[in-house]
Amino acid sequence: MEDIDEIKKKKLDEMLRKMKEKENFPNAPVVLNDGNFDGFVKKYSVAVIDCWAEWCGPCRMIAPIIDELAKEMQGKVAFGKLNVDENMEIPSRYYISAIPTLLIFKDGKMVDKVVGALPKQFLMEKISQYI
């Protein structure tokens, strides 16, 4: 049977590990490009990429929602933003034909795609499935 001090130490180590993991998740969307995209989605257990363009009205509508979700889901989900006009490789790879498109990755693999400017609650529920 484990000693109470060993149990306390294990629990403390687990709490510290979880705190460090949370600190490593950004609290705002990270600007991504064709060069750093793959590393970003592999680094985090769950990553959501907002594929957008400056001229896109619905993209501008959803941007504040993505910012809020990044803060609220910090420690669980990392958010990135990829400008599809400046980066052609990733949109081509994932067959992005309409924006805004959110690509959802779990453990480095794309598991879902959401197209359109949708309400915050819908997006939060959709993303939460993968946490």
The pLDDT of residue 1:
53
Measured between alpha carbons, how far is residue 116 from residues 15, 39, 47, 98 in Å? Answer: 38, 25, 18, 8
The pLDDT of residue 4:
85
Q: Which of 41, 47, 56, 62 is catalytic?
A: 56
The pLDDT of residue 126:
97
Q: List Cβ neighbours of 20 (8 Å cut-off, separation of 6 or more).
A: none
The pLDDT of residue 10:
84
For the question of residue 56 being annotated catalytic, the response is yes
The pLDDT of residue 112:
97
Domain that holds residue 106: 4-128
Give pTM, 2 decimals: 0.82
Reply yes or no: is the peptide bond before residue 100 cis, omega within 30 of 0: yes
Overall domain count for the chain: 1
Query: Which stretch of DSSP H or E encloses residue 14?
Result: helix 4-24
State the CATH number of the domain containing residue 109. 3.40.30.10
The pLDDT of residue 2:
66
For the question of residue 51 being annotated catalytic, the response is no
Measured between alpha carbons, how far is residue 94 from residues 48, 77, 103, 114 in Å? Answer: 13, 20, 8, 12
CA angle 122, 91, 37 (to 5 degrees): 85
Mean pLDDT per segment of 10 residues, for the chain of length 131 residues?
A: 79 69 80 97 96 97 97 96 97 97 97 97 97 93
Q: Which of 32, 41, 51, 59 is catalytic?
A: 59
The pLDDT of residue 96:
96
